[in-house]
Amino acid sequence: MLQKLLNNKFKIIQLVFLVGLLALVRAFEDELFYDPFLNYFKEENASVYPEIISLKLFLSLFFRYFINTIISITILYVIFKDLNLVKFSSILYALFFVLLMILFFVVLNFFDESHKTTLFYVRRFIIQPIFILLFIPAFYFQKETEKK
């Protein structure tokens, strides 16, 4: 076990660095991105959606999703060293982005504030690198199944 860690120390250093980048994106979210919902969801009894600038919000969400996606795909490459997996992941990330953004703006524009929880979770999938937590075990399982 220790020998495996020593053999993969460069890979481990890369992964720690990449996870650190994800943490920095989160740590500096207020400075880097326009998101009026950051404070809105922190308030317990906020009842009316904050005023938003739609294009600016879309571009900010896109930029954040793009940064998280690039880092996440790099993590997948470091772990699996498989370009086909990177291509497949990129397609999945693009499809999920389109679906999530459509859902986000539908909930935001066509539902009232009583659907605050739905908006919160859709937004969460856009701004947080949650898909990497699903992809790593799924692709690991796929690789192990292919070996057998």
pLDDT at 141 over 70: yes
User: Can you give the pLDDT at residue 46?
Assistant: 67
Give burial (CB, 10 Å; 0-12/13-18/19+) of 35. Answer: buried
Judge contact between 88 and 142, C-beta under 8 A.
no
Q: Residues for the chain: how many in total?
A: 148
Q: Using one digit for the tens of pLDDT, what is the confidence trace for 89-140?
A: 999 999 999 999 999 999 988 987 778 889 889 999 999 999 999 999 999 9
User: Can you give the pLDDT at residue 122?
Assistant: 94
Q: How far is CA 114 from CA 103, 110, 118, in A?
A: 16, 11, 9
Q: Once rounded to an integer, what is the mean pLDDT over residues 47-57?
A: 85
Mean pLDDT, rounded, of the chain = 90
Radius of gyration of the chain (CA): 18
Q: Once rounded to an integer, what is the mean pLDDT over residues 9-17?
A: 93
Query: Residue 46, SS3?
Result: coil
For residues 35 and 14, give the distance between their C-alpha atoms in angstroms, rounded to a whole number: 30
